[in-house]
Structure 1
Amino acid sequence: MRPRLPGRRTRPVRGEAARLERCPMSDFRLPRVSPEAEGVRSADLLAFVDALESRTRWPHSVMVVRGGSVLAEGWWEPYRRLGRHLLYSLSKSFTSTAAGLAVAEGKLSLDDPVLRFFPAERPAEVNEHLAAMRVRHLLSMSTGHTEDTLPHFARRPGDNWARTFLAVPVNRPPGTHFLYNSGATYMVSAIVQQVTGQKIVDYLRPRLWDPLGIVPPPWEECPRGINVGGWGLSLRTEDIAKFGQLYHDGGVWRGQRLLPATWVADATSKHISNGNDPNSDWAQGYGFQFWRCRHGAWRGDGAFGQLCLVMPEQETVVALTAGIDDFQGLLNVIWDTLLPALGPRRALPANPADERRLTRRLDALSLGSAPGGESCWPSSAAISRRWYTLEPNDLDLTRVSFDLDTPALLLERQGGSTVRLPFGWQGQWAEGRGIEVFGIYDGVPDEGEPGRSDTGHAIAGVAYGDGRPVSTSGGWRADGTLRLTIVLHRAPAQVHLSAKFTGDELRLERSVSGSFLGGVKEPLIGRLTEG
C-alpha cells in the first residue's frame, strides 16, 4: 500500500481525466518524498500554501519539486490532478524546445534567415531589417518589430499567417530591442514544421512527450494546420513540473539525454535586455522563450498564472496553474514565503505531525473566493423555478430561471434551447456544461476536434462547440443577492454573477476574470413572468 504524501487526494475521475488515468504513461510519475527529506520544513510549505491562497485569490494547482522529487502538491476544488489546463504563453517554452531539438539534429540553424523558409510569402519589397532577421531573433523576441504581430493575424484577411507576419513593417535592426511578439513564436513553429515535416506537437512526441510520460496533448492550430506555438498548449500540472525538472537537470531525464546541455544553457540565458527595474521579474532579461528572473531563477509563463519556475541555486522547480490578474504578485509570494524555506538540501528530522497538517491542508484545498453564503433565503420560494423574461442583450438570452431546490441556473437562448448549469451551495461545486452562453470558451479542443483557430487569440473567438466542462458554486449574501461563480475546468476563466431581486424585477450583474475577454459586462435585466 502506498504511503500518503502531502497533497495526494483521491477523487472520482471521469471523461478525459479517466482516459489519462488509464494510460500507461500515467506511471511515469515523479517520486514523492516528505519535505523534511529534502531539507524543507512541512510547516514552511504550509505557510507558502496559505500565502498563495490568501494573496493570489484564484490558484488552481501547485506542485513543489526539489531534487527531482515532489514535496507538496495540491489542486483547488474543483480542479483535478489529471485535468489538463490551458497554458497560454507557457506554450512558448515548448516551442523553443522543439526548435532546439531541430537545431541539434542539424535540420535548422539559429542563424538561418527567416525569409529563407517563406519564398512564397516574401513581400514585394524587403527592407534591410527584414532581410537581416534570423531564427534566433524570433526566439529572443528581438525581431525589430515595434508592435506585436499577433493582432494582425486576426485583422488581415486570409489564412496565411506567415505572409501576414512578414508584411508587418520591421522598423529596427533585429537583435537590438526586446518586444514581446507572439507572432514570432508562431513563425518558429512554422519553420520547425517545414524542416521536420511534422507539426511540433507530433515532432515532440518521441523526443519529449513519450520519454517524460506525457500523454500527447492538444495544441491549437492555425487555419493551415500549423501549431500556433505561442499559446494553445494544454498540459497537466505534473507535466509542467517534469518539463521544468528536465531543464533544471540540463536536458537529462532519468539518465537519458533528451536535450543538449548547450541548448538548455543557451535557451535559459539572457539574450536581450527587457528593462532595468531590479524589483521586476519582467526586467531581468529574456532568453529563447524563457524569462530570466530575480534570485538566479528562470521561468516559462503564461497569462493569468500559468508557471514553470526553475530555481537552480535551490535545486527546486515550481509548477502552477491559476486564474489570477497579478503575475508579479504571484512571483512575490514565492520569493517571500517559499524561497526562504529552501535551505541546504540536507535531510531534517522527520516531523510527522507537521507533515500530517500539510497533507490535510492540501487535501482540503478549495477555491477560497467561491461565493459561500447561505443556501436558503426567505424569498427563495417566490423565486425558485419561475422565469424572468430578459431585455435584449449581447448574449441573445431570452429568459432566465433559478431552480433553488436542485439547484441550477437555467438560461434560455433565442430559438428556444435551454442551458442548465447546476451549482453547489456554500462553497461546494457542481459540475455542468454550457458556459458558452456567456461568450467564454476554454480554447481546448475535445478529442476528435481539429483544434483550429480563426483569430490567433488564445480564447477570444475560439469556439470548438458547446458543452465545455465547468463547475459552479453559489450562495446568498446578507443583502439578499444570490451570487454564483462559474469556473472552466481547463482554462483560467471565471464568470461571476450577482442576481438582485426587487419585486418582479431581476438585475443579473456579471463580470469575467482570468480571460482576455475579462471585465465588467452589461447587466442582464429581466421581469418575472409565468411559464
Structure 2
Amino acid sequence: MSLNVKSELALPRSHPEAQGMSSSAIVEFLDAVRAQELELHSFMLLKEGSVIAEGWWKPYTADLPHLLFSLSKSFTSTAIGLAVSEGILSLDDQVVSFFPDETPSEGSPNLLAMQIRHLLMMGTGHAQDTMESLGKSANGNWAEGFLQQPVEYAPGTHFIYNSGATYMLSAILHKVTGQSLLDYLQPRLLTPLGISGATWETCPRGISVGGWGLSVTTESIAKFGQLYLQKGMWNGTRILTEEWVAEATSKQISNGDNAESDWNQGYGYQFWRCRHEAYRGDGAFGQYCIVMPEHNAVIAITSGLNDMQAVLNEVWTHLLPGMGPAPLPANAESAAALAERLGQLSLPAPQLAVSSPRENEFNGQYQLEENSLRLETFSIGFDDNEATFKIKDHNGEHPFRSGRSAWIEQLSRLNDGKEQQIAASFSWRDPDTLELTVRYLETPFCFTVVCRVEEEQIALESKPNVNFGSNDPIEIKGARVTQ
C-alpha cells in the first residue's frame, strides 16, 4: 500500500498490519462514512506511534490548517498544565485573585470559591454558558463580564459546558506570563512537536480566546494526541508531566448518564471521556482528537457536519474491532482496497448542467437590498470554462473564479476579510437557476448560493452546510446596475 509520506514531517509512517491494525477495518470505516454521507475533510490514524492511514477529501489538503473550534480547549488546558509544572500557577488558585479590578466589590461566596481547577473541569458553578455575556462586556473586557455573572452552584458540583471558563484560563495565563497562548506554547509545545503556522483568534483586548479559534493542520492534531498517549513524552524528552496527563484526561466531574453518548462519560480538564476507555478533545462540526490508550492509537479527524456522535459510532463499530496488540499477517488484497479508498477520497463539485441558454442574461452587477450577511453588490461574468463572481461587503470587493462543475482553488478574503484558501464551482440546476458552491478549505464551512434572475431583478438564497444557528437559507434580493 502506498501511504501519503511527507519526509519533512516528524511522525513515522507504517502499514496497518505491521502495527496490529486490520486494513479491511479502515476500509469499512471509510465506506460507512461515505454511505452515511458524513462530510469528513481529513482522517489520520496512528497506531503504535506510526501513521498507518491518512487521507484528505479533495479539495482539502494536508498542508492547510483547519479551524478547530472547541478542540482548541485541550490546547489551552495543556498550557495551564505547563504553567503548573513551572510553578507559575496552582490549580487551587482563586480565579478572582488574578482580577482584583474586575471582581465585584461584594462577590458571592460561590464566585470567591471558584478555582482554576473549576474552570478546567467546566464546574464553575454557572447555570449556563457565559460566552454571550462576555461578548457584550463594556470596553471588550471579557474577564469583567465573566466575573459579573451569577454563580448559582458551589464550584465543582455542577457541570455546564462553558467556553467563557476556557477564556478565563487564557486570560489568567496572559496575566501571569504577559504572553499570549501561542507565544507561551511555542517553545514549550509547538516547536518540540514540529507544529508550525498555528494561529489563534483573540478577544477585543488581544487575549487569545482559548475556547475556540485555534487553527492547525490535521497532522498537528495527531501529534498533540500522540503526546498525550505517550503520557507527556516526545522523542525522549518530557514535555508534560505524567501526573498532569493522567489528571487532565481522567473524569473530574459527571456530565450525564446516557451510556450510549460519548458526551455523557465524564469530563476532565478540557478533555471529554469517551466510551471504550478512550478520551478526546473535540470541536464543533466534527473536529476530533481521539486517544485510545488501551489500543495505543490516536485518530485525528476534521469535518463539516452536525452529527458528531455519528462519526464516533463508526469509529467504535469499524475501527475499534480491527485493532490488535500484535502485528497481523500481510493482506495484499485488503491493502490494495485501502490504498484505492484513500486515493479516491473527494468531495466533488456538484455535477449538474454545465451551461444554460440564459447564461448571458445573468451577466452583470446587482445592487443588493439590505441583508443579514451585509452583502452590498453581487456580480457575475461568464467565460468558456469558468465564471468570475464579485461580492462586495463591508470589507471591500472580493472577486473569485468558479469552475464549471469543477473546483477552482484560490486565495480569497470572502470570510470576514481573512485571507484563506477557497474552492469554488458553479452548475445549473435548470436553465433558470444557477448554483454557486464555495468551500472555505481552512474551516468546516461550505456555502451554496442559488441565483435566479428575472426582468433585471436577482434573487439569491445562501445556505451553509453547518451553522450554530438555523440552517435555513438566507434570501437576498437586488436589482441590476445599469451602466
Sort the TM-score into its range (normalised by shorter chain): over 0.9
Q: Secondary structure at the match of 1:468?
A: strand
Q: Secondary structure at the match of 2:75?
A: helix
- Counterparts of 2:396 and 2:211, CA distance in 1: 36
Corresponding residue number in structure 2 for 1:360: 340
Moved more, 271-280 or 402-411: 402-411
Alpha-carbon contact 1:63-1:73 (below 8 Å) kept: yes
Alignment of 1:60-209 (within 5 A): 60-209=41-190
Corresponding residue number in structure 2 for 1:496: 448
Change (3 A) 1:517 1:271: same
One of 465, 475, 478 as aligned partner of 2:427: 475
Deviation of residue 162 (structure 1)? 1.3
Unaligned runs of 5+ in 1: 11-25, 442-462
CA offset digits 1:346-399 (Å, max 9, x no partner): 22222334323322322232115x42223233x154446345565554434334
Alpha-carbon contact 1:512-1:518 (below 8 Å) kept: no
Moved more, 245-254 or 500-509: 500-509
Check if 1:238 corresponds to 2:219: yes
Moved more, 190-199 or 65-74: 190-199
Deviation of residue 64 (structure 1)? 0.6
Alpha-carbon contact 1:140-1:271 (below 8 Å) kept: yes
Corresponding residue number in structure 1 for 2:473: 521
- Counterparts of 2:395 and 2:8, CA distance in 1: 47
Q: State the one-letter code of the partner of 1:292.
A: R
- Counterparts of 2:401 and 2:358, CA distance in 1: 17
Change (3 A) 1:160 1:387: closer
Corresponding residue number in structure 1 for 2:392: 413
Change (3 A) 1:506 1:195: closer
Q: Secondary structure at the match of 2:398?
A: strand
CA offset digits 1:263-299 (Å, max 9, x no partner): 1010000011000001111111000000001111100
- Counterparts of 2:73 and 2:381, CA distance in 1: 42
When normalised by structure 2's length, the TM-score is 0.93
- Counterparts of 2:316 and 2:458, CA distance in 1: 46
Moved more, 413-422 or 481-490: 413-422
Check if 1:510 corresponds to 2:462: yes
Corresponding residue number in structure 2 for 1:5: 2
Deviation of residue 501 (structure 1)? 5.1
Deviation of residue 97 (structure 1)? 0.6
Deviation of residue 507 (structure 1)? 3.2
Alpha-carbon RMSD across the aligned residues, in angstroms, is 2.5
- Counterparts of 2:351 and 2:251, CA distance in 1: 46
Q: Secondary structure at the match of 1:27?
A: coil
Corresponding residue number in structure 2 for 1:210: 191
Check if 1:424 corresponds to 2:424: no
Corresponding residue number in structure 2 for 1:373: 352
Deviation of residue 146 (structure 1)? 1.0
Aligned sequence identity (%): 46
Q: Secondary structure at the match of 1:198?
A: coil
Check if 1:335 corresponds to 2:316: yes
Deviation of residue 320 (structure 1)? 0.8
- Counterparts of 1:231 and 1:418, CA distance in 2: 28
- Counterparts of 1:416 and 1:167, CA distance in 2: 34
Alpha-carbon contact 2:358-2:432 (below 8 Å) kept: no
Corresponding residue number in structure 1 for 2:303: 322
- Counterparts of 2:287 and 2:136, CA distance in 1: 27
Deviation of residue 308 (structure 1)? 0.3
Q: Secondary structure at the match of 2:46?
A: strand
Q: Secondary structure at the match of 2:200?
A: coil
Q: State the one-letter code of the partner of 1:373.
A: L
> What is the number of equivalent residue pairs in this alignment?
482
Deviation of residue 480 (structure 1)? 5.4
Check if 1:400 corresponds to 2:379: yes
Alignment of 1:9-48 (within 5 A): 27-48=8-29
Judging by fraction of residues, say which structure has more strand. Answer: 2
One of 342, 355, 363 as aligned partner of 1:385: 363
Moved more, 215-224 or 512-521: 512-521
- Counterparts of 1:399 and 1:99, CA distance in 2: 46
Alignment of 1:217-228 (within 5 A): 217-228=198-209
Alpha-carbon contact 1:323-1:513 (below 8 Å) kept: yes
Change (3 A) 1:190 1:74: same
Moved more, 311-320 or 406-415: 406-415
Alpha-carbon contact 2:21-2:47 (below 8 Å) kept: no
Corresponding residue number in structure 1 for 2:282: 301
Q: Secondary structure at the match of 2:472?
A: strand
Change (3 A) 1:221 1:526: closer
Deviation of residue 50 (structure 1)? 2.2
- Counterparts of 2:400 and 2:438, CA distance in 1: 9
Alpha-carbon contact 2:282-2:288 (below 8 Å) kept: yes
CA offset digits 1:471-501 (Å, max 9, x no partner): 1123233575332221112111111112345
Corresponding residue number in structure 2 for 1:22: none
Q: Secondary structure at the match of 2:289?
A: strand
- Counterparts of 1:362 and 1:255, CA distance in 2: 32
Q: Secondary structure at the match of 2:451?
A: strand
Check if 1:346 corresponds to 2:343: no
Alpha-carbon contact 2:459-2:477 (below 8 Å) kept: yes
Deviation of residue 419 (structure 1)? 3.2
- Counterparts of 2:476 and 2:177, CA distance in 1: 51
Check if 1:247 corresponds to 2:222: no
Alpha-carbon contact 1:7-1:362 (below 8 Å) kept: no
- Counterparts of 2:205 and 2:217, CA distance in 1: 27
Change (3 A) 1:57 1:422: farther
Alpha-carbon contact 2:449-2:462 (below 8 Å) kept: yes
Change (3 A) 1:56 1:271: farther
Unaligned runs of 5+ in 2: none
- Counterparts of 2:370 and 2:90, CA distance in 1: 57
- Counterparts of 1:500 and 1:259, CA distance in 2: 57
Deviation of residue 189 (structure 1)? 1.3
Change (3 A) 1:119 1:221: same
- Counterparts of 2:394 and 2:149, CA distance in 1: 43
